[in-house]
């Protein structure tokens, strides 16, 4: 264990001290305490009071305008936080001016004078710091007074750290691999009462059991679900800000190779992500359209098949897509970092359909689920002129890449019990090359010879008579 502390903080809009190529020599010689932001100064005091000699701060320990140094150091991120004695989280501060410390709020301030009396009290069930903030059930970005939980970069810092001290608006919270506790003791008491495990505890448990592929898949999904809801200043950091955690998972050699936020083992399953919202497209290339990393940060990604409620066991899922080839050009030597390009060569059952808009293209609806409809070609009399909705990845992407009534292609990914999952694709200008615009994740069909279930009439599979086709997905 290192004799140093690491700081996890929000950079914010205010200017903070950094190390650049022009200031490197000066930083090696001296970093004046007065030049540090309030958050950094508080972190120095905490480090000193803990009896530690060193403090690691990203803005000072990484040369910010040197791409090679940035890429080299970012690859070490997992080791830096895992090896630190403790990680100091400036949870309440939105920038360098907020500091770590806060004035304690006295909640019992009415003075009493007179003779002694006996008073029976009961601990208030409402707690300042909710334990939900540290479990998978939370939307971290909803905690308005804890800005650190809104930032994408800090997410892996919290999970990778051996010990964490959260300096919140009202009290300090401590978390390690086995414990979560606060100054008043309310969190640990309630967590024990309901038998809940923190996200960190579940993360550590999943990594211990490397033989359970399904457990690791679910754990990675929960990481993506929380991480995707957080915000980035630079969308180009979408993959680098997760590379530390990705490297840890890849080292277990269970999920296959990391591929632009997905994993090569059970790749059809990893293509079934869903996102809701009317978010604008990214300004520059970050990931291929079939990766959730191509979606703007701050939009929560979901995997219906990996949800704890409603998810299915791996033995109930049948892959229907053949992966013929995988290409991924890395942007650096980091195998889990940023990429320049990626594409898949696949073979699967395809249905050619027509796209229909059911909203005003000038003012898209806020919610991809109602964004577009597919008019399916007739497979039989019962399916003629049937319209089926799908979840578009972004209404902006649909509008920019399509016109109403044009042909789109539905590519079958997998089947799960009575449900089919398929991608909705549009062709590019290149021959046999396609871009993802959405997914159908709950197409219910009946088994062969069975036309009803508990009195409910179900639809025939759209892909029963479909032909297989080789395609390039970008």
Per-residue pLDDT tens over the stretch 123-141: 554 454 554 556 654 433 3
Secondary structure letter of residue 143 according to DSSP: -
Per-residue pLDDT tens over the stretch 387-435: 677 788 887 777 777 776 778 899 999 998 778 899 999 999 999 999 9
pLDDT band at 71; cut points 50, 70, 90: confident
Q: Stretch 75-91: mean pLDDT, rounded?
A: 93
Predicted confidence at residue 294, as pLDDT, reads 96
Check: CB of residue 415 under 8 Å from CB of residue 464.
no
- The rounded distance, in Å, linking the Cα atoms of 264 and 246 is 13
Check: CB of residue 153 under 8 Å from CB of residue 9.
no
Residue with tokens 């590019």: 428
Residue with tokens 């804890």: 146
Predicted confidence at residue 266, as pLDDT, reads 95
Per-residue pLDDT tens over the stretch 152-163: 999 999 899 999
Predicted confidence at residue 192, as pLDDT, reads 67
- The rounded distance, in Å, linking the Cα atoms of 423 and 351 is 10
Per-residue pLDDT tens over the stretch 284-306: 999 999 999 999 998 999 999 99
Residue with tokens 């039989």: 380
Predicted confidence at residue 313, as pLDDT, reads 64
- The rounded distance, in Å, linking the Cα atoms of 351 and 307 is 28
Q: Residue 391: in which H helix or E strand, if any?
A: strand 387-392
């Amino acid at each position: 264990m290192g004799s140093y502390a690491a700081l996890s903080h929000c950079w914010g809009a205010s200017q903070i001290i950094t190390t650049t190529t022009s200031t490197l020599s000066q930083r090696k010689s001296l970093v004046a305490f007065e030049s540090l932001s309030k958050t950094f100064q508080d972190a120095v005091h905490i480090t000193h009071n803990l009896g530690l000699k060193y403090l690691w701060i990203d803005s000072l320990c990484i040369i910010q305008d040197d791409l090679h140094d940035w890429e080299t150091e970012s690859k070490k991120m997992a080791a830096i936080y895992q090896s630190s004695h403790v990680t100091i989280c400036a949870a309440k501060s939105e920038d360098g001016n907020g500091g770590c410390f806060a004035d304690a709020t006295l909640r019992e301030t009415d003075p009493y004078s007179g003779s002694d009396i006996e008073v029976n009290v009961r601990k208030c069930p409402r707690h300042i710091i909710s334990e939900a903030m540290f479990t998978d059930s939370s939307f971290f970005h909803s905690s308005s007074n804890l800005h650190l939980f809104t930032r994408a970069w800090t997410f892996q810092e919290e999970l990778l750290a051996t010990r964490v001290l959260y300096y919140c608006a009202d009290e300090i919270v401590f978390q390690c691999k086995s414990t979560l506790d606060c100054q008043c003791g309310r969190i640990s008491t309630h967590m024990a009462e309901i038998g809940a495990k923190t996200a960190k505890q579940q993360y550590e448990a999943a990594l211990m059991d490397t033989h359970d592929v399904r457990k690791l898949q679910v754990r990675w999904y929960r990481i993506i679900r929380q991480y995707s809801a957080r915000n980035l200043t630079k969308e180009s950091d979408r993959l680098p800000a997760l590379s530390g955690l990705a490297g840890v998972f890849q080292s277990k050699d269970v999920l296959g190779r990391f591929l632009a936020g997905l994993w090569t083992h059970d790749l059809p399953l990893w293509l079934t992500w869903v996102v809701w919202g009317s978010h604008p497209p990214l300004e520059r290339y970050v990931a291929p359209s079939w990766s959730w990393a191509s979606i703007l940060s701050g939009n929560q990604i979901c995997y219906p098949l990996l949800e704890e409620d409603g998810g299915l066991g791996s033995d109930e899922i049948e892959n229907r897509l053949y992966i013929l080839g995988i290409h991924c050009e890395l942007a650096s030597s980091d195998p889990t970092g940023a990429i320049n390009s990626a594409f898949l060569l696949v073979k699967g059952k395809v249905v050619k359909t027509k796209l229909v808009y059911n909203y005003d293209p000038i003012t898209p609806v806020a919610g991809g689920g109602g964004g577009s409809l597919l008019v399916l070609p007739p497979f039989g009399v019962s399916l003629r002129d049937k319209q089926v909705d799908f979840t578009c990845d972004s209404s902006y992407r649909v509008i920019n890449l399509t016109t109403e009534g044009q042909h789109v292609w539905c590519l079958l990914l997998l089947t799960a019990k009575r449900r089919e999952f398929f991608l909705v694709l549009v062709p590019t200008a290149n021959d046999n090359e396609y871009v993802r615009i959405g997914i159908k994740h709950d197409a219910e069909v009946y088994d062969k010879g069975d036309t009803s279930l508990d009195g409910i009439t179900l639809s025939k599979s759209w892909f029963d008579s479909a032909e297989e086709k080789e395609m390039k997905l970008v």
